Structure formats: C-alpha cells, structure tokens
Amino acid sequence: MKKNILSLILFSVVNAFCQTPQNLYKGVWSTVNSNKTTIINNSSSVGGIFRISNGTLNSDNIFDDFTIVVDGIELSKRFMEGGGVVVEGKRIELRQNGVSNVAIGVWEIIQKIAVETVSSIWAIKPEPNKEFLVAELKNSQEFQFVVNGQPQGCSQNFVEVAVDGNTIKDKDGRPINFALSSSFLGEGKRITIKASGTCSVNNFISGSLLLKK
C-alpha cells in the first residue's frame, strides 16, 4: 500500500511537469516497461552533460540500481535508486536492474542555456501494428517527445517511436517501449508512433512534441 501511494504521488508530479514543460533540455524518464529500459537522448549530433536523478524511494525495501549506456558503451559503475548521476555524451540509455514496478525520475542537460519551447499535441489509441504521424518536417530539427501520464480507461500502455523511419531501439536491438510520464530528446524530420495496451472507447493516450520557440 505504501508503495502504491508513493507511486501515485510520483506519477502526479512528473505528469504535472509533462503538462507544462518550459525547457527543451529538461524532461522526465521512466523504466516502467517489460525491458526496464529507456532512452533519454537519441540525438546523434546534440550532446551535453546530463544530470539524471531518480525520484523513486526505497519504500518497498528493494534497492534497485541503474546501468547507463553512453554513446553505445556501458559504464562500468551504476547509480542507486533514490540518487542520481552526471554523464556526458550524445546517446544516453538507462536500464533498471531490479524488480521494482516503479522507477521514474528527471533528466536535464546542465551547463547549457535553457531553450523555451512551443508544443504540438498528439493522441493515439492502441491499435495493433498501426502507425500514426506526429511530425513531417522539411528539415531535421531537435525535439523533445513527451508521453503524458495515465489516462482514465486505459491500461498497460506504452508508446513505440520511429524517427525518420527508424524505430528507436536499445543497445541490444530491442524497440524501446516509452512508458507513460516519460520523455526523450531527439532529432529528425519525420516522427511516427505506435501504442500498445488497451483503452476504452472514449479514451486515448496523449502527449506532446516540443520544438524550439
């Protein structure tokens, strides 16, 4: 029960952040998926020093830790639940090691001027093998892709994202299932999405695409 209450509080906090993002270089992450893996930065040209923090406390008496893969190289040391880390690179992958159902936090590029954003809303209902368009641009642009929190009438929801026709995958070649209340930094011209899970007739999954203002 204590863990459920903590989870509700954490998801409420990150969902509120997702609804009103101001800085392109700050977002939230979650490893609440079957592979317990997520991508924080998927851009091949935009890098920086990332501060990554975990907001999940050890209220279930299970101390998970996290492996970080920077530019395709797995770091030899991990950071622990309830803490954080600072790493520098372009492609940042995060893997949860442990059995906790809730693992979420915040990421931010530091030592870089904050960039204000404009946003476009997207929505999707889970339909097997059906892709929906989020953006079709003439030139490649830096963006932040945001998945909102849990909508009513939906469950077991994850979003798979493809940029310029390439599905975002982890180091082992598995498609990343972005959990609700999560985001990542990317770069490209065409963005499409697929969703898994279920939603009732009048409900759907939503999020936003943030571009430089």
SS (H, E, C) the chain: CHHHHHHHHHHHHHHHHHHCCCECCEEEEECCCCCCEEEEEECCCCCEEEEEEECCCCCCCCCCEEEEEECCEECCCCEECCCEEEEEECEEEEEEECCCCCCEEEEEEECCCCCEEEEEEEEECCCCCCCEEEEEEEEEEEEEEEECCCCCCEEEEEEEEEECCEECECCCCCECCEECCEEEEEEEEEEEEEEEEEECCCCCEEEEEEEEC
Q: Which residue, 146, 149, 184, is CA-closest to 168?
A: 184
Q: Are residues 46 and 68 in the same domain?
A: yes
Quote the CA–CA distance of 130 and 128 in Å, as a whole number.
Answer: 6
pLDDT of residue 101: 82
Last residue of a domain, one of 110, 139, 168: 110
Q: Which residues of the chain have pLDDT under 70?
A: 1-21, 57-60
In a domain, 18, yes or no: no
Strands 84-89 and 48-54: antiparallel
The encoded tokens of residue 97 equal 């090691």
Q: Are residues 97 and 130 in the same domain?
A: no
Q: Are residues 80 and 33 in the same domain?
A: yes
17: left (phi over 0), alpha (psi -120 to 50) or beta: alpha
pLDDT of residue 58: 60
Last residue of a domain, one of 110, 129, 157: 110
Q: Are residues 88 and 155 in the same domain?
A: no
The encoded tokens of residue 211 equal 């571009």
Q: Are residues 96 and 152 in the same domain?
A: no
In a domain, 13, yes or no: no
Q: Are residues 97 and 127 in the same domain?
A: no
Quote the CA–CA distance of 68 and 181 in Å, as a whole number.
Answer: 20
Q: Are 147 and 191 in contact (CB under 8 A)?
A: no
Q: Are residues 121 and 207 in the same domain?
A: yes
pLDDT of residue 182: 95
Q: Are residues 121 and 92 in the same domain?
A: no
The encoded tokens of residue 158 equal 């994850």
pLDDT of residue 185: 96
Host domain of residue 61: 26-110
pLDDT of residue 57: 65
Q: What domain count does the chain have?
A: 2
Q: Are residues 123 and 106 in the same domain?
A: no
Q: Are residues 134 and 85 in the same domain?
A: no
Find the CATH number of the domain harbouring 86: 2.60.120
pTM: predicted TM-score of the whole model, two decimal places: 0.88
CB atoms within 10 A of CB 9: 12
Q: Are residues 37 and 73 in the same domain?
A: yes
